[in-house]
Structure 1
Amino acid sequence: MKTLALLAVVVFTISGICAVDRNKFKTCDQSGFCKRLRAFKPEKSQYELNLDSVLVHGNVLSAEVVTRDPADEKRTVLWQYAFKLSALADSTFRVELDEADPLYPRYRTQLALDGEPRPDSLKLTSNDNSKLTLVNKQGHKVVITAKPLKLEFLDQNGEVAVVLNENSQLLVEPLRVRREKTEEDGDGNQVNVEEEGTWGESFQSHHDSKPRGNEAVSLDVGFPEADHVYGIPEHTDGLALKTTTSGDPYRLYNLDVFEYELDSRMAIYGSVPVMYAHGPKRTVGVFWHNSAETWIDVVNYSDSNVVSSIVNLVTGGQKRRVDARFMSESGIVDVFVMMGSTPDEVFKQYITLTGAKPIPPKFSLGYHQCRWNYVDETDVRTVDENFDEYDIPMDVMWLDIEYTNKKMYFTWDPIKFANPSEMVANLTAKGRKLVVIIDPHIKREAGYFLHEDATELGYYVKDKDGKDYEGWCWPGSSSYLDFFNPAATKYYSERYRFENFPGTSKDVHLWNDMNEPSVFNGPEITMPKDCRHYKPTQDGEEGIASFWEHRHVHNEYGLWNLRSTHDGMMDRVDGKYRPFILTRAVFAGTQRYAAIWTGDNSAEWSFLAASIPMCLSLAIAGNSFCGSDVGGFFKYPEAELMTRWYQAGAYQPFFRAHSHIETKRREPWLYPPTTTALLRDANRRRYALLDYWYTLFYEHSVQGLPVIRPLFQQYPNDPETYTIDDEYLLGNALLIKPVTSAGATSINVYLPGNTLWYDADTYMPHTEARITQPVTISKIPVYQRGGSIIPRKERIRRSSTLMADDPYSLVVALDSNNSAEGTLYIDDGETYEYKNNKFIYAKIEYNSKHMTYTFINDNAHYPTKSWLERVVIAGIKTPPKSAKLQQGDKSTPLQMTLHKGNDVLVLRKPGASMGKPWTITFAY
């Protein structure tokens, strides 16, 4: 939404600020644990596996790990740790290392996983007193070297695919009792001193008390034979991660960064600690299951700028290898190793752990219109009517914070939004919806029911002294609900009930913003790390052991906020209707609850270009439902940039125009008529493909594959695809190359796969891998893969709801074998009735003799009124003389038109119902 750093008072200006203020955010050297751990480079790891303690039971190996004093000839044990290796379904392993008897419980991330991972078998096959060898059901081996501890994960060919602690950077800082250290001052007096940073550290004017002391964890991960690594969003540089030996590591720490900069490894709103490594031999991945602040170093040995000053290189001079090192401020070592071995397989493995995005309500795939802020009900009605006046489809109107009564959530401004129910009804009469914003900060104002209740019932996050934490955000003085408290979560969820939020209905959906959480006067514009969260306590736990600190849960906070919102929206409709939620904070598992966007971007060409790799990185990390603010949140996009952004946004999963309160209004009709026409065309292209989008999201929900895909996912053996991030695949059938530079008259496109690609506008085929595509301002470079079938709806109406029963067109792009296939998913678009088999999931196949439409799930049915209006067959070299439709007992001859200029055959009005199987037979 928006970002501002507050000074001592809530007085600020926006017009004079034009770039991120780096001084507000830490570098690694200013982050105590990052500076400390990055310098940790022992020649040999102190961690050893006690072979006498090894026990294998079911899918788990458990053992004791110890550290010893290297300077002690007696090899005295310093610390004891509990080690677990688990074999999980889908060729995944889990490695956990915790203190055997910690002074206090160490935090274990709670919400990222979608339930308990399913077990696999684990068999100990060898124990030679220095190494253990274990194997899972799929034939992947794990070789554990005891002294020093090292884990090698071998693929099914017996080659090392992932290795842990080869560079000796495993570290779990044990919790210690705080003891005062004394030194003699200049007068000979003993004075208390503290080791710098151990029990507290400062950043600017903020002090972090660190009551548990240092408790960081670290682990190095090696990827032999990898060319590149990907993932760990959210960041603003390319899809393929860069070597970090020059400069800071990648940082994962959810932050509200005003006008974030591009090509940067700085932390912004999201933190998903999953990394994938890819090369010609394999794809593998690791998921670092930790919700604390995390820094990640990357060393790619093929990079020309790699130096050895950061990591201890133990690689034998290998060039095809990437190393990474994860460093977190707290928690335990808890890492999932996903053995792949293709991009598809490893992406599915991550989704198996953290959950797929459920099928979104269909309207949410349409176009969204937002602004901070539409000022009143008249403004909303006028904008809504103008979309009809200018014949531009639109599904959702949005309201930012100004709709509330003095920024008190779950209320309406009594003057500007006096009749919200009527406003909503006017939208829903056209099949449209409303989204309103609710942020986690709660205005501290006497008489405000939410503040009064949270204060009385103890539902706020506490400060380091156990009092309600008070910070500054949009309402001014604010406190923050503690979503880790089940009672607070339940209370918050109940606020979404229709009786508690008058004016809302099932057609009012939610936007959870500022949920990093954003605190304008906090350290790094967020909550102090020594704030306290609810913790279920065991008998005898008190003091420090009775609460979690914000440092432990920071990156997870927004996820708890989302779950509470999701639960409330489900409860208000008795679980019947699918909710839509948008979030800015992101963590592993966020996809189960919400769509995301790339935050406060600017109306600049560079931000348009950056939206592609940013969303691709998020998509492969589970968050397919991603988009950027179309047109840019800050500044004003001139006509050409606005046109290109609409054209790009129409092919990104979340398609919303949004802008800052101080920007010039920029609804499509406020541009010159020629530009309005181009924006209309982009929107209509989106709506024509809504059923293809919807099918992809259904398939994601059951298969786990990203909806938008980097080229290397589909073409893993083509090194040319490994670093391409300015074009991408929509499903496996469409390739999108947005125009992202001013004044472009042509762009270079890479068409992978040694196959036919058809221009989506002209159906002209391309056989070469590299083409120069001429582009006018109206051209959107989109290509359909030969061998695919795409469903479309050509009767574009004012909203997607009104198109539900409209007929389909099928675009068949033939491959070199004159064949093609595709799928189509249909349900009611809004309820969970699909779980009761009330849906259609159909396979469409074409060869020179037949075109068939059959149900993949014969037990599922849906009474759609849609029918088949047209079939377009591109690339047909030998057209049939006749075609006949067979559906049930009815046989119908079909009209055909051949376009010889581009070898396109059109079957006109077959009239087949899409609710039943059918066959078209060709005669020659």
Structure 2
Amino acid sequence: MASFIERMYLQLTLVLSISLGIIQAVDRSNFKTCEQSAFCSRQRALRPGQSSYRALLDTLELSDSRLTLQLLNNNNKVRLLLELYRLQGNITRVKINELKPIKPRYEVPDVLITDPPTEPMSVVAQDERGVVLSLGGVDRRLYVNAQPFRLDIMEGPKLVLSINSRGLLAFEQLRMRKDTISHKITSTVGSMWDKIKNVFSSNDQKDTEEAGKKEDTEKIEDKASEGEEQEMEVDQPGMWEETFKSHVDSKPNGPSSISLDFSLPGVEHVYGIPEHADSLRLKNTDGGDPYRLYNLDVFQYELFNPMALYGAVPVLLSHNTHRTTGLFWLNAAETWVDISSGQGSGEVPQTDVRWISESGIIDVFIMLGPRPADVFSQYASLTGTQAFPPLSSLAYHQSRWNYNDQEDVAAVDRGFDEHDIPYDFIWLDIEHTDGKRYFTWDKNNFPQPKDMLQGLMDKRRKMVTIVDPHIKVDSSYKIHSEIRSRGYYVKNKDGGDYEGWCWPGNAGYPDFTNPEMRTWWASMFAYDQYEGSMENLYTWNDMNEPSVFNGPEVTMLKDALHGPWEHRDVHNLYGLYVQMATAEGQIRRSGGLERPFVLSRSFFAGSQRYGAVWTGDNSAEWGHLKMSIPMCLSLGLVGISFCGADVGGFFKTPGTELLVRWYQAGAYQPFFRAHAHLDTPRREPWLFGPDNTALIREAVRQRYALLPYWYLQFYQAHRTGQPVMRPLWVEYPEDVTTFTIDDGYLIGRDLLVHPVTDEGSRGVTVYLPGNGEVWYDVHTFQRHDGALHLHIPVTMSTIPVFQRGGSIICRKNRIRRSSSCMENDPFTLYVALDPQGNAEGELYVDDGHTFKHETDRQFIHRRLRFTSNTLSSRSAPPPGNTIPFPTASWVEKVVILGAQEPKAVTLTSSGGGESSVEFEFDPVTLVLTLRKPDVNAGVDWTLQLQ
């Protein structure tokens, strides 16, 4: 145990280093490169074209849905077991594990939502060179080449994807260390020989004794070599122990890394594998570091860098004009991804992708599309869809580290009302607690938390408090005492509770991989456990990579233990499990009625099921504003739609122009929160002069007007897995111009946004896709043709947003203090006609916060359609609701863009009654406005233009 002086010195050092970090960029020396990572360096030293594996065709076994086949390493004679599955929905699963490991290797649990349903396979042909399997569909085949081992997926004569075509399959089997084996052999033989000597004591049996000793030695050596190399390989540095700076990583099972390569012929564009502060399209990593997936606390991160950040989703998408495919590498250990671009056979462009992980098994899902929407559905069938958030969480959030006390919270709340700016959530960071003890309140600054929460509730507003997964080691702290007494902490390699330094000082780290721990954690959110909490209090999980200030790379030692598993096996899962347990706690506290809202900094595949994420500790710089777009687009491509960036930048102080532009951009990203570092000046929206306050107010109001559309997009994402914020190529997959665009994007199908992200900009160039389509500026209603680059002059009030011709978008234009206050307000429908004079859209309404839309089917889902000069509203499939959901909202206005002037407009309501509707027509803008149809939003109706 460190002395008090030593602990205070360390704490001071940490504070100084964090403060210096505000001035300096990230210290990259704190984080490994591939060359400094022993397994990455070792694997990357392998050269293509020298595969040591061959398939043993005589071991092939095929059931209706599963093929097994042994692979032999020609160099060391170790055998692997290949399992291959054809899954429903055009997915192929490939698993490779040791045939006879000396102990089980880690296989990732809890990420797949179910055992994926399988479909039958059949052998089409087989000879000594390989096997051909039918994968169904349109002449889809899987070719297994025996030597060297290789898998090819074909559709007809076309090669879609190859596995191990470059021969980079490498599987370091678990084994005992040579000196350990020698010691065991020596000690075991010696013990056996002592017993033998008691029986054979005669000198004339010396030869027999020597022979027996040799035979026993050979038997033990044979036993020791089961599951390990038959020909002992030369140990390399870092195989059994690795040091980074002052941190030593012991490796009791030695080298255990895995690697596999994939070749994508005809592909030049690949995306995904977040989180990285880089362009949407992934870059060639030849000559530099691979992209790294290893959840780390990296404040003020660099841009255009493949280094690891807070989350890791091992999903990569490839795309060309003919096909979109996906690779899901289900492994939670530290992983590096190499990307090489070049030419395949016949001078065809090709992208090669190589995955390298430190431990675990090879378990990869090949999602064969062929359309982008198909890949999203395929991935959602494996890991689930985006959690359907409460409507209020899609509104504006006000945060900083930290609001000082209850009066400060009340003053900020009043400030929004006084300046007529809506908001829904105010946030409290770590300083609200009693000495960084989570689930507590600072009794001096927040003596009456329920009074504070009730004051917000009276205005139909909410609060978020931070609950981090590092627990202060303090015997008087209930949470710590409970976790320790139950044995729920992560252990160090010697079996004691693992402890590290974080915000409270010395801290323990709960083992969230333990389902009993997660259940207990969830119980702590009950109102009688989390004192001072109420139903309008929600949660923020930060530092859950996990962050350990005095650990290697600011995280946990890899040889720490989670039950039988080392931390190296589970590292990238930790943050997912924290968010999972927290979300479950919010659900349980309401008796299963209320939807949770939980923000997490760390994430993995499947995290979308539990809430929102953000892009971490960014900076008040134009580059970070610009980078927020591709970072969120990348997350959306791999299932995590609820993403945003700290508006204004977490570190440093934004100028007024940057702050305003960031509000304008944030208003059109899924998660909309302003947040700032403790040492930055206050940034409430009214502190920058009346002109800038007006600009920020307008941006926030635009967000609130569009909440019905945002809510519909999240409903669709929850149902289908389609991203809310999506790159242009997702909807225009054959338009090569869209393939590299990451400064403009779509919200759903129908809104195109191109935020202004350059300082002093007087104009932006927006690409409007779609040959034969039209787009309408949502502010001026000016119509533009698709498939062109449009230059737009901009002022400080300009937010370039366009509605697709052929769409209908519902807005609420009466903006109040919070989204809940707008619940019963009327809708305005914006009908943007395509060149043929048609449009369609949807309206979705429920109570905005419970699970009754699922449990009782209490919702309204309307299909809106304009064709033949008739606008209609009908119930969308599936028809009807088990329990009709009433709404007081009505349609008060319809705005039709690209219209012709009618002679009259007639409303036919659900009861069959008819009435005339007032209208205005602008012949310059071709905008037709229908006023006061005053029809309930939940019933059938028709508007006929004559």
Q: Which residue of the partner structure matches residue 885 of structure 1?
A: 908
Alpha-carbon RMSD across the aligned residues, in angstroms, is: 1.6
Preserved contact between residue 311 and residue 603 of structure 2 (Cα < 8 Å): yes
Preserved contact between residue 232 and residue 272 of structure 1 (Cα < 8 Å): yes
> Residue 116 of structure 1: SS of its match in structure 2?
coil
Determine whether 1:603 maps to 2:616.
Answer: no
Q: Which amino acid aligns with 2:175?
A: R
Q: Which residue of the partner structure matches residue 118 of structure 1?
A: 117
Q: Which residue of the partner structure matches residue 927 of structure 2?
A: 904
Structure 2: how far apart are the matches of 1:6 and 1:340? 56
Give deviations 1:563-586, integer Å, cap 9, x for gaps.
111221111111100000000001
> Residue 823 of structure 1: SS of its match in structure 2?
strand
Give deviations 1:134-161, integer Å, cap 9, x for gaps.
2234343211112111111123x44111
Of 806, 809, 824, the match for 1:787: 806
Preserved contact between residue 884 and residue 922 of structure 1 (Cα < 8 Å): no
Determine whether 1:153 maps to 2:173.
Answer: no
Give deviations 1:685-735, integer Å, cap 9, x for gaps.
000000000000001111110001101101010110000000000000000
Normalising by structure 2, what TM-score?
0.91
Gaps of 5+ in 1: 70-76, 184-192, 303-314, 535-546
Change (3 A) 1:549 1:829: same
Structure 2: how far apart are the matches of 1:42 and 1:178? 29
> Residue 55 of structure 1: SS of its match in structure 2?
strand
In our comparison, the structure showing a higher alpha carbon Rg is 2
Structure 1: how far apart are the matches of 2:152 and 2:871? 50
Structure 2: how far apart are the matches of 1:6 and 1:907? 70
> Residue 758 of structure 2: SS of its match in structure 1?
coil
Of 695, 720, 736, the match for 1:719: 736
Structure 2: how far apart are the matches of 1:565 and 1:456? 21
Structure 1: how far apart are the matches of 2:925 and 2:129? 68
- Once the two structures are overlaid, the 10-residue window that deviates more, 244-253 or 481-490, is 481-490
- How is 1:99-498 mapped onto 2 (pairs within 5 angstroms)? 99-139=98-138, 140-155=140-155, 157-180=156-179, 195-301=236-342, 315-316=344-345, 318-498=347-527
Preserved contact between residue 901 and residue 928 of structure 2 (Cα < 8 Å): no
Q: Which amino acid aligns with 2:409?
A: V
Preserved contact between residue 885 and residue 910 of structure 1 (Cα < 8 Å): no
Preserved contact between residue 6 and residue 472 of structure 1 (Cα < 8 Å): no
Determine whether 1:848 maps to 2:852.
Answer: no
Structure 2: how far apart are the matches of 1:512 and 1:212? 33
Preserved contact between residue 71 and residue 80 of structure 2 (Cα < 8 Å): yes
Query: 1:64 Cα shift?
Result: 1.7
Structure 2: how far apart are the matches of 1:608 and 1:880? 49
Structure 2: how far apart are the matches of 1:478 and 1:760? 52
Preserved contact between residue 293 and residue 311 of structure 2 (Cα < 8 Å): yes
Change (3 A) 1:403 1:181: closer
Structure 1: how far apart are the matches of 2:851 and 2:64? 37
Give deviations 1:348-375, integer Å, cap 9, x for gaps.
2112111101211000000000010001
Preserved contact between residue 599 and residue 628 of structure 1 (Cα < 8 Å): yes
- Once the two structures are overlaid, the 10-residue window that deviates more, 90-99 or 11-20, is 11-20
Q: Which amino acid aligns with 1:38?
A: R
Query: 1:440 Cα shift?
Result: 0.4
Of 723, 728, 735, the match for 1:706: 723
Query: 1:434 Cα shift?
Result: 0.8
Preserved contact between residue 228 and residue 300 of structure 1 (Cα < 8 Å): no
Preserved contact between residue 395 and residue 423 of structure 2 (Cα < 8 Å): yes
Give deviations 1:252-297, integer Å, cap 9, x for gaps.
0000012100010000101100001111221111100000000000
Structure 2: how far apart are the matches of 1:361 and 1:6? 43
Give deviations 1:221-276, integer Å, cap 9, x for gaps.
11111121000000011000000012100000000012100010000101100001
Query: 1:490 Cα shift?
Result: 1.9
Structure 1: how far apart are the matches of 2:924 and 2:716? 36
Structure 1: how far apart are the matches of 2:656 and 2:868? 46
Gaps of 5+ in 2: 1-6, 183-233
Give deviations 1:490-513, integer Å, cap 9, x for gaps.
221111111000111221111000
Give deviations 1:798-848, integer Å, cap 9, x for gaps.
000111111000001111000000111110000000012111111100023
> Residue 693 of structure 2: SS of its match in structure 1?
helix
Q: Which residue of the partner structure matches residue 8 of structure 1?
A: 10
Structure 2: how far apart are the matches of 1:841 and 1:127? 53
Q: Which amino acid aligns with 1:765?
A: R
Structure 1: how far apart are the matches of 2:840 and 2:905? 21
Q: Which residue of the partner structure matches residue 879 of structure 2?
A: 858
> Residue 166 of structure 2: SS of its match in structure 1?
coil
Q: Which residue of the partner structure matches residue 664 of structure 2?
A: 647
> Residue 692 of structure 1: SS of its match in structure 2?
helix
Structure 2: how far apart are the matches of 1:564 and 1:7? 35
Q: Which amino acid aligns with 1:886?
A: S
Q: Which residue of the partner structure matches residue 817 of structure 1?
A: 836
Structure 2: how far apart are the matches of 1:621 and 1:27? 25
Preserved contact between residue 902 and residue 945 of structure 2 (Cα < 8 Å): no
Query: 1:195 Cα shift?
Result: 4.2
Give deviations 1:723-763, integer Å, cap 9, x for gaps.
00000000000000000011111101100002101001011
Q: Which residue of the partner structure matches residue 88 of structure 1?
A: 87
Q: Which residue of the partner structure matches residue 39 of structure 2?
A: 33
Query: 1:878 Cα shift?
Result: 4.9
Change (3 A) 1:212 1:689: same
Determine whether 1:550 maps to 2:567.
Answer: yes
Q: Which residue of the partner structure matches residue 538 of structure 1?
A: none
Q: Which residue of the partner structure matches residue 211 of structure 2?
A: none
Preserved contact between residue 299 and residue 616 of structure 2 (Cα < 8 Å): no
Q: Which amino acid aligns with 1:764?
A: Q
Of 895, 898, 921, the match for 2:918: 895
Q: Which residue of the partner structure matches residue 55 of structure 1?
A: 61
Normalising by structure 1, what TM-score?
0.93
Structure 2: how far apart are the matches of 1:429 and 1:134? 65
Structure 1: how far apart are the matches of 2:902 and 2:567? 67
Give deviations 1:157-200, integer Å, cap 9, x for gaps.
441111100000011111111122999xxxxxxxxx96421210
Q: Which residue of the partner structure matches residue 206 of structure 2?
A: none
Point out 4+ residue stretches in structure 1 off by more than 6 angstroms.
none
Q: Which amino acid aligns with 1:416?
A: N
Change (3 A) 1:6 1:33: farther
> Residue 180 of structure 1: SS of its match in structure 2?
helix
> Residue 288 of structure 2: SS of its match in structure 1?
coil
Q: Which amino acid aligns with 1:502?
A: E
Structure 2: how far apart are the matches of 1:660 and 1:203? 30
Q: Which residue of the partner structure matches residue 188 of structure 1?
A: none
Q: Which amino acid aligns with 1:849?
A: N
Determine whether 1:668 maps to 2:694.
Answer: no
Higher helix proportion (structure 1 or 2): 2
Q: Which residue of the partner structure matches residue 305 of structure 1?
A: none
Query: 1:777 Cα shift?
Result: 0.3
Q: Which amino acid aligns with 1:641?
A: L
Q: Which residue of the partner structure matches residue 4 of structure 2?
A: none
Preserved contact between residue 294 and residue 309 of structure 2 (Cα < 8 Å): yes
Structure 1: how far apart are the matches of 2:100 and 2:670? 47
Query: 1:10 Cα shift?
Result: 4.2
Q: Which residue of the partner structure matches residue 764 of structure 1?
A: 782
Q: Which residue of the partner structure matches residue 697 of structure 2?
A: 680
Query: 1:881 Cα shift?
Result: 3.4
Of 846, 851, 860, the match for 1:827: 846
Preserved contact between residue 406 and residue 445 of structure 2 (Cα < 8 Å): yes
Q: Which amino acid aligns with 1:496?
A: F
- Once the two structures are overlaid, the 10-residue window that deviates more, 684-693 or 839-848, is 839-848
Query: 1:44 Cα shift?
Result: 2.9
Give deviations 1:431-489, integer Å, cap 9, x for gaps.
11111100000001121111112222211101111111110000000010011223222
